[in-house]
Amino acid sequence: EESDGTGNKVLHTQCPFCSVQCKAQIHMQTTPSGAVTYTVEGLPNAASSGRLCVKGLNAHQHALHSERLQQPLMRKEGRLVPATWDEALHTIAERFAAAMTAHGPDSIGVYGGGSLTNETAYLLGKFARIGVGTRYIDYNGRFCMSAAASAGSRTFGIDRGLTCRLADIPLARCIILAGTNIAECQPTLMPYFNEAKENGAFIIVIDPRATATAKMADLHLQIRPGTDILLADAMLKIMLDEGWIDKQFIHERTGGYEELYARMKDVDPAEAARVCGIDEEQIRRAASAYGLAETGIVFTARGVEQQTDGHLAVRAFLNLVLASGKIGREGCGYGAVTGQGNGQGGREHGQKADQLPGYRSIENEADRAYVASVWGVAPEDIPGKGVSAYEMMELMHQGQIKTLFLMGSNPVVSNPNVNLVKDGLEKLDFLVVADMLLSETARMADIVLPVSSYLENTGTLTNLEGRVLLREAALPAPGEVHHDWHILCDIAERLGKGKLFSYTSSEEIFEELRVASKGGAADYYGITYERLRREEGIYWPCPSTDHPGTPFMFSEAFAHPDGKAQFTSLQNSVAKEAVSEEYPLILTNGRVLAHYLTGVQTRRSPTLAARSEANFVEIHPDTARRYRIEEGQWVEIESERGSFSVRSRISGHIRKDTIFVPMHWGGVQNVNLATSPALDPFCKMPGFKVAAVRIKRVY
Ligand code: SF4
C-alpha cells in the first residue's frame, strides 16, 4: 500500500482469478463526502504486459463486499450465528479429538483448493497428515489439472503446465488449441495468439462450440464431445502415412514408438471423422498444418481433460508433439491451460491424495523419509495414500468420512453428481468451512471460519507457465478475519501439534516449503521472497539460490531417468456415457467470461454479475425447434442422476447433438446435478464433459 501523492492510496496486487496471474494496482480515492471509490489498472509483468480482463478489473468488488464474513459462525439451534474465535477453535479441536478417538483419524477428511497460495496448499497437506493424521486429503484441482498433470508426468517425467515460455507462442507456425476457450477463460493471453497469427501461424481450435476463441481459428474442428482421442489418433495416422514426422527426434529422444506405430495400423481417419462428427478433409488439413509446420505448440484444457479418458486424451495429443519433434526448441512445446489462479502451484505441494511437497510421492519410501525429516516426524507418522476428491464425497455418503475440514472450495457446486455430494455433506457429523464468503457449502457447515482475501494475504502463486510470483498483502484483514495458514496453525496447536505449526508468517512457511521441495520434481529451493521481490517471477525448477530458474523445458533431455519422453499406445478402457432414445443429447459444460469457478466471488461482484446474471443452456436452433423451445424459455435438463432448470439461449454456435451449460451457478441452476461421476482410471478426473441428457421446456 502506498500513497499516490494526492493523499489517495495505491494498492499493488495480483488478480486472484485465472492462471495468468496479471499484476494490478488499485487506486483508492476518498471523496469529500467520505465515500471511497476504486479504480483498477493493469501493471506490466512478464505474463500479461499490463493487460487485465473484466474479471481482473472488478476482482476487488467481492473482496470489499458487504457480505464478507468478518467473524466465525457456529450453528446453534439450526442457524449459523456469530461466535468468538476461541469458541469456534475450541469446538473444532474438541470435535476432531472426539472423532479421532471414536472412529480414528481417517474418519476426518481435509479438502483444499487450487486458488490457495502455495504456502497454504503446503500447510494444508501437512495439517491433514501430521496435525490430524488422516490419509484423506484432496482438493478441487482434481477436477482441473489431474488429467494433464498425470499425462505430463508419464510422458515427460515431470508435470509443468507450459513446457516453454508464453513468449514462444508468437514464434509458433501452427498452434492447436484443444478444448480451451482462452478468449473467455484467460483473455489476457489472446494477444500472444493474435501476434502468432500476424506472424503467419495457422491456428486450429478443437471445440464442440464456435467459441470466441474459435473465431480466430484458421480451422475449427467442431467435434462431438468426448471424441478427442479419435481425432488426435487420426491426425497422427495421417502424419505417419505422409511422413510428416521427425524420425531423428523419435529415435534419439523418445521411447514406446514401435508399440504406438503398431497400434496406428488400425486407425481409420474416415471412421474417426464419422464418429467425431466432422469431415475427414478437416482432419487431413489439421494433420498437414501441424505436421508440416516448422514450429508448433499444442495446448489442451478442460474440454479434453474432463473426460473419463482425459489422461489418455492428453497423451494422444502429446503423441503428436513427440512424433513431430515439436518440443524442447524455440516456438515449440505443450501447454495445459490451467484454470485456477494457483492451478500449477496448488498441485505441487501436497494437497493431493497421493502426493507430498515438491511433487514427491506419498508411496515412495525415500520421499516419505525426506519429507518426514523436514517436518520433524518419523516416516511412519505420515499416513498413506488417500482417495480423490469425488471419492471422498462417496466415502462421506457411505458414512466412512464423518468429519470434513474444507478450505478454499465449494464442493456442493463443483463436484459432479451433486445430489450424492449434498447427501454426503448432510450425513457428516461435523463440517467446518473456511471461506471469505458464505458459499453454498458454507451454508451447510457447523462452523464457518472467515479467511482473508487476495488483497489481505501474502503468499506465492505459480502461474500457468510454472513461474512463481509473490503477491503481497495490500490491506489489513477486516474485522476478525484470519489468514488461512494462521487458522491451520491455531487448530494444530489445540490438537497438541503446535510445535510443528509454529509459523508467524507466510514467508516462514515458504522457507520450509523450499526445503521440502528440494530435490523433488517441482524444486523451489532456490526461490526466496527476497528474490521474488527483486526478480518479479522465477520459473521452477530452481534448485539453488544462484540458479536463474528454468523457463524452457526439455531442450536437452526429458525428466525420465533415461532422459527420453514416452509415447503411449494404451487404449481407453472406460466406455463414455452414450446417448440413447431416453437421453438423446450430450450435455457439456464450461465457463463464461465474467465468472470464475463456482461463482462465489464473481457472482457477488455487481459489475460481473450484471454481465452474466443467471445460468443458461446454449442450444442449436434446430434442436430448440425439435423440442419447441423458444429463446429465453425455461428448460429442464435431466440425466440419470438428476435435473436442473435454466433459461434457453438459442445459438448456431453449438452442435445440434450437444447442449452447453456454464458451471458457475449452484442451487437449482447447477449443471452438476446432471453431470457424470464416472472417473478416469489414471487420474480420477470425473467425466464432466459428456453426460447423456433429455430436455423439455418448462411451461
Ligand atoms: Fe488476468 Fe486471468 Fe485475472 Fe483476467 S482473470 S485479469 S486474465 S489473471
In the chain, where the domains are located: 2-63, 73-144+342-539, 147-336, 585-697
Q: Is 297 in the pocket of ligand 1 (CB under 6 A)?
A: no
pLDDT per residue over 474-527, tens digit each?
999 999 999 999 999 999 999 999 999 999 999 999 999 999 999 998 999 999
How confident is the model at residue 673, as a pLDDT? 97
How confident is the model at residue 347, as a pLDDT? 86
Average pLDDT of 692-697? Answer: 97
Q: Is 594 in the pocket of ligand 1 (CB under 6 A)?
A: no
In this prediction, residue 48 has a pLDDT band, given cuts at 50, 70 and 90, of: confident
Q: Is the pLDDT of residue 529 over 70?
A: yes
Q: Cell digits for 39?
A: 479504480
Q: Is 22 in the pocket of ligand 1 (CB under 6 A)?
A: yes
Residue percentage of the chain with pLDDT more than 90: 89
Q: Is 182 in the pocket of ligand 1 (CB under 6 A)?
A: no
CATH topology of domain 585-697: Barwin-like endoglucanases (2.40.40)
- Find all residues with CB under 8 Å of 664, minimum gap 6, and list them: 591, 592, 595, 596, 597, 598, 599, 602, 603, 612, 615
Q: 2-63, which class in CATH?
A: mainly beta
| Residue from 19, 22, 596, 605 to probe ligand 1 pocket by mutation (most atoms less than 8 Å from CB) | 22
- Interval between CA 336 and ligand 1 midpoint (Å): 16
| CB burial readout 548-569, b (16+ within 10 A) else e | ebbbbbbeeebbbeeebbbbbb
How confident is the model at residue 338, as a pLDDT? 87
Q: Which atom of ligand 1 is nearest to the CA of 20?
A: 8
Q: Is the pLDDT of residue 699 over 80?
A: no
- Interval between CA 44 and ligand 1 midpoint (Å): 13
Q: Is the pLDDT of residue 63 over 70?
A: yes
Average pLDDT of 407-424? Answer: 96
How confident is the model at residue 455, as a pLDDT? 95
Q: Is 18 in the pocket of ligand 1 (CB under 6 A)?
A: yes
- Interval between CA 184 and ligand 1 midpoint (Å): 10
In this prediction, residue 687 has a pLDDT band, given cuts at 50, 70 and 90, of: very high
Q: DSSP string covering 347-370, please?
A: GTSS-STTEEGGGEETT-HHHHHH
How confident is the model at residue 270, as a pLDDT? 98
Q: Is 56 in the pocket of ligand 1 (CB under 6 A)?
A: yes
Q: Which of 59-73, 285-299, 437-451, 642-656 has the lowest mean pLDDT?
A: 59-73
Gap between the Cα atoms of 322 and 310, Å rounded:
18
CATH topology of domain 73-144+342-539: Rossmann fold (3.40.50)
| Residue from 62, 186, 340 to probe ligand 1 pocket by mutation (most atoms less than 8 Å from CB) | 186
Q: Is 187 in the pocket of ligand 1 (CB under 6 A)?
A: yes
| Residue from 13, 19, 20, 597 to probe ligand 1 pocket by mutation (most atoms less than 8 Å from CB) | 20
pLDDT per residue over 587-627, tens digit each?
999 998 889 888 888 998 999 999 988 999 999 999 999 99
| Residue from 23, 48, 52, 664 to probe ligand 1 pocket by mutation (most atoms less than 8 Å from CB) | 52
441 dihedral zone (left: phi>0; alpha: psi -120 to 50; beta): alpha
Q: Is 591 in the pocket of ligand 1 (CB under 6 A)?
A: no
Gap between the Cα atoms of 511 and 504, Å rounded:
12
Q: Is 166 in the pocket of ligand 1 (CB under 6 A)?
A: no
- Find all residues with CB under 8 Å of 241, minimum gap 6, and list them: none
Q: Is 360 in the pocket of ligand 1 (CB under 6 A)?
A: no
Mean pLDDT (the chain, rounded): 95
How confident is the model at residue 594, as a pLDDT? 85
How confident is the model at residue 35, as a pLDDT? 86
Average pLDDT of 637-652? Answer: 97
- pTM here is 0.95
Which CATH number is associated with domain 147-336? 3.40.228.10
In the Cβ-directed half-sphere of 524, how many Cα atoms lie within 13 Å?
A: 32
Q: Which atom of ligand 1 is nearest to the CA of 54?
A: 4
| Cross-strand pairs, 139 | 112
CA angle 93, 95, 101 (to 5 degrees): 100
pLDDT per residue over 389-402, tens digit each?
999 999 999 999 99
Average pLDDT of 340-348? Answer: 85
pLDDT per residue over 1-46, tens digit each?
666 666 688 999 999 999 899 999 999 888 888 888 899 999 987 7
